[in-house]
A and B are shown apart, each in its own frame.
Chain A
Amino acid sequence: MTERNVTIKNRAGIHARPAALIVQTSSKFASRIWLEKGEDKINAKSIMGIITLGASFGTPIRILAEGADEEEAAAAIERLFESRFEEE
């Protein structure tokens, strides 16, 4: 199990477009990937799940990955958060 901690850096938060980006990226990996916000834990391959998380600007998110390529998967998702989902 690989864990990464990130915060949301784009002003708009995770709306539909960033959610789709996360799903596209995580779908490339065989590992099971989750996003955690406080008590809530959702599958990072489910678009509606990610949106329902309601992750706004400044929210801390924990990325969890488990599987053969968990390192790469977690790193790729982390990069998305760091690049502000190519927004702004």
Chain B
Amino acid sequence: MEEQRFTVLDLLDLDLKEQNALGLRCIGGRKGLPREITVPDLNRPGLALSGFFESFAWQRIQIFGRGENAFIKKLEDENRIDSFEKLFSYPIPACIFTHNLAPGRNFFRLAEAADCPILQTDLSSSEFTSRVLRVLADIFAPKASLHGVLVEVYGIGILLVGDSGVGKSETALELIERGHRLVADDVVDIRCVNGSILMGQGANKVIGHHMEIRGLGIINVTHLFGVGAIRDKKQIQLVCTLEEWDPDKVYDRIGTEERTTEILGVRIPELVIPVKPGRNIPIIVETAAMNERLKKMGYHSAKEFNQNILRWLESENARAAYFNRDEYL
């Protein structure tokens, strides 16, 4: 996947809802808006303002809260603006003022001269920091694009993969018909959030929730099955690999050994489901989802079953030993 530049303008343009909104607007240095944000991190430039520039994290967005702004005011009043000049000699991506604060005249003038955008938000520093870090983590998360279908079955995000023509879309269609949800068909964009969670969504909002079914062509799932049948994004919790039944291959018959597959460095449970005429794949996928939920609740069907068998066989052993001794007595 091609790397996209993420600029300050993109940050301003982000369409975020209520509790995620950043409330940003540009109050100066507009010419610098195409500056790229390269690091998903922030810096409070208190030390820099006081003139200490060793290890100054200039690559990061600089956050000015009440403290920094008061300090800027004090420096402006005392006409000690050399630290501002030094600050803007670095190609800072953007300066963001929280609490709807605005810096003094000299700071503005130097920012304009250096083409450094000055943004303002009505949020408090801590709230803005946590929101913007969340947003940046999302944008800078490792990404991958996989060929497959992502569905939500009983609340479990299942990625159906396999060669084309094996019946991924048909399986998904049957699952939707049975009241489950489609997240993405054909191309699934995956982001690794927090290093351990895989979020999947459709590659394109325009294409989203359309499916190609052989013999039918393109269908619109939202219109056919209603909004209840779709979902924008979902964590991937299980991978089901569909493949043509190979008579020489050994398929898992017990399920005590857990197979996993790796996507973006995260291990996800994987099931290999052989496809053969007469096998109802949607029902198998549905059962796999419920079994996965049971496992999450701490009940592992296959392991529990085997433990019961072992206990039973042991009691048989004990009985046999006891009776044998009886015979000898």
Q: Which residues does A use to contact B, with CB under 8 Å? A: 12-17, 19-20, 23-24, 47, 51, 54-59
Contacts and interface: CB of A to CB of B under 8 A. Distances in A.
Given A16-B302, A16-B309, A55-B313, 19 more contacts: A12-B313, A13-B313, A13-B316, A14-B313, A15-B306, A15-B310, A19-B254, A20-B253, A20-B254, A23-B253, A24-B253, A47-B253, A47-B254, A51-B309, A54-B313, A56-B320, A57-B317, A57-B320, A58-B320
19 contacts: A12-B313, A13-B313, A15-B306, A15-B309, A15-B310, A16-B302, A17-B254, A23-B253, A24-B250, A51-B309, A54-B312, A54-B313, A56-B313, A56-B314, A56-B317, A57-B313, A57-B320, A58-B320, A59-B316
Nearest to A14: B313
- Residue with the greatest number of chain A CB neighbours at <10 A, chosen from B254, B306, B313: B313
B313 A16 contact: no
A49 to B, nearest CB: 12
A16 B320 contact: no
A71 B201 CA distance: 55
A20 B250 CA distance: 10
B56 interface: no
A13 B317 contact: yes
Interface in B224-262: 250, 253-254, 256
A51 B312 CA distance: 11
A19 to B, nearest CB: 8
Nearest to A8: B313
B53 interface: no
Identify the 9 closest CB pairs spanning chains A and B, nearest first: A13-B313, A56-B316, A16-B306, A56-B313, A15-B309, A16-B254, A56-B317, A20-B253, A15-B310
Interface residues of B, number: 15
A84 B119 CA distance: 73
Contacts, number: 46
B90 interface: no
B299 interface: no
B317 A16 contact: no
Interface in B287-322: 302, 305-306, 309-310, 312-314, 316-317, 320
A12 B316 contact: no
A43 to B, nearest CB: 14
A29 B253 CA distance: 18
A27 to B, nearest CB: 9
Contacts of A24: 250, 253
A80 B312 CA distance: 22
A58 B323 CA distance: 13
Contacts of B302: 16
A11 to B, nearest CB: 8
A8 to B, nearest CB: 9
Nearest to A52: B309
- Residue with the greatest number of chain A CB neighbours at <10 A, chosen from B253, B302, B314, B316: B253
- Residue with the greatest number of chain B CB neighbours at <10 A, chosen from A13, A14, A16, A55: A16
A55 B256 CA distance: 20
Nearest to A11: B317
A59 B314 CA distance: 12
A51 B256 CA distance: 15
A54 B254 CA distance: 17
B316 A16 contact: no
A20 B320 CA distance: 25
Contacts of B250: 24
B316 A17 contact: no
Contacts of A16: 254, 256, 302, 305-306, 309
Contact of B256 (A17, A23, A59): A17
A13 B197 CA distance: 41
